[in-house]
Structure 1
Amino acid sequence: MPEPAEPLPVRALDARSLRGLAHPLRMRLLTVLRHAGPATASQLAAKLGESSGATSYHLRQLAAHGFVEDVPERGKGRERWWRAAHLGVTFDGGLLKDPDPGVRGAADLFLHEIANQHTQELATWLGTRADWTEAWQDASDMSDWTLRLTPDLVRDLIEKVHALVESYRPLASEEGAADAEQVRIHTHLFPTRTD
């Protein structure tokens, strides 16, 4: 059986697609599909502690907005497999200023859910780090810096960090490294008050 094509790199969120994605369970479903690969609604329900009816409904909503797609070559009988259609999304901060309060609310929910997911991923790492080899424990990082920058310099820094991270995407697969694992990288740049 042929495997489905690789997902497209990223998708820019607009007001309509944001409304289709901005739901905690939908965002969790999409995250699991992006990180773990194709799955059925029942498999996702078991993994997330949800009912298969709920995961099935929200997968259909994600599909209606183009975030996931059916993988018919993996299904048997009535079994339906799903995969992420994109590796990630880009968020336009202008959605937080949209004249429609529903769009602004969806944007706010989306950002808060991303922050929650990042917190959960980090807490999971801290709770399970002893399960990993010493090499992986030594390779992990939780760093933070405080710099005094202008908005233009922050945008420049973000652009450079993103480019650097993207430059690493093909390296492990090109080398075929046996000890390569999926890793998560979080960046957060925001101003803070000093008073």
Structure 2
Amino acid sequence: MPENPEGPAPDAEAAKAPSDRPDRTVHELDARTLRGLAHPLRMRLLKALRSNGPATASQLAEQLGESSGATSYHLRQLAAYGFVEDAPEHGKGRERWWKSAHYGTRLPESVAIDPNPEVRGAVDLFRHEVATIHAQEAGTWIANSHDWPQEWQLASDLSDFTLRLTAAETAELVRKLHDVINSYDRTEPAEDARMVRFHVHALPRTQDQGTTD
């Protein structure tokens, strides 16, 4: 799941991972919880909580351009499926604060290839929304890149490659990429560290789709 606040270059304090972020626990989806998450607004709400830390339904509604009634309803649905939980330490009076219950989300192989049409539809919606969020994040970076220091502009990357691989080789390469990326995920980052998003896409294509290389 995608987790990164949108907008211009953050200041040093805002760039730190939210202190309320859960430990590196990952929510492994099953057919039931996938159907509970596979909704565009629910996925955006979960992304916002993981990126920015705890918030109320009203705050999230303002962030996402939705009504507080809609965000409140879908937050309760996310809670019912175990994706979010109360953050009472932030509450004031009758305000209800929410936080993500996990650091990330994983779609296991058994669910990704489930033959049940309802599950297949939920997988498609889930993947489509992930791809949409990735595209939005890339667009936001391009629109705001000039607000960042030069070293960050040069450190960013938008690359693509076309390789001839077997399915086994592709799966192996994806695992290796994940391992390398995760090796940089430190609990105590350097003082000048920023939140950086890495998107990994491995998309098989047929010969008649042509090439871009």
Give the CA deviation at 1:194.
Answer: 2.5
Q: Deviations over 1:123-158 (max 9, x none)?
A: 111111111111111110011111111111111111
Task: Please point out which of 196, 199, 203 is paired with 1:183.
Answer: 196
What CA distance in whole angstroms lies between the structure 2 residues aligned with 1:94 and 1:52?
A: 36
Q: Deviations over 1:91-123 (max 9, x none)?
A: 134435434322221111001010101001101
Q: State how 1:142-153 maps to structure 2 within 5 Å.
A: 142-153=158-169
**Contact 2:22–2:100 (Cα < 8 Å) also in 1:** no
SS of 1:86 mapped into structure 2: coil
Q: Deviations over 1:64-94 (max 9, x none)?
A: 0000110111101111111111111111344
Task: Please point out which of 179, 184, 187 is paired with 1:168.
Answer: 184
Aligned residues: 190
Q: Deviations over 1:17-72 (max 9, x none)?
A: 00110000000000011111111111100000001111011000000000011011
What CA distance in whole angstroms lies between the structure 2 residues aligned with 1:192 and 1:185?
A: 22
- Which structure's residues are more often helix, by fraction? 1
Partner of 1:36: 52
**Contact 2:83–2:100 (Cα < 8 Å) also in 1:** yes
**Contact 1:44–1:55 (Cα < 8 Å) also in 2:** yes
Letter of the 1:153 counterpart? E
Structure 2 stretches lacking a partner, 5+ long: 1-18, 209-213
What CA distance in whole angstroms lies between the structure 2 residues aligned with 1:67 and 1:90?
A: 12
Task: Please point out which of 58, 68, 76 is paired with 2:74.
Answer: 58
**Contact 1:38–1:84 (Cα < 8 Å) also in 2:** yes
Q: Does the alignment pair 1:136 with 2:152? A: yes
Give the CA deviation at 1:192.
Answer: 1.4
Partner of 1:122: 138
What CA distance in whole angstroms lies between the structure 1 residues aligned with 2:86 and 2:110?
A: 31
Percentage of identical aligned residues: 58
Partner of 1:15: 31
TM-score (norm 1): 0.92
Change (3 A) 1:4 1:36: closer
Letter of the 1:192 counterpart? R
TM-score (norm 2): 0.84
**Contact 1:7–1:84 (Cα < 8 Å) also in 2:** no
**Contact 1:30–1:84 (Cα < 8 Å) also in 2:** yes
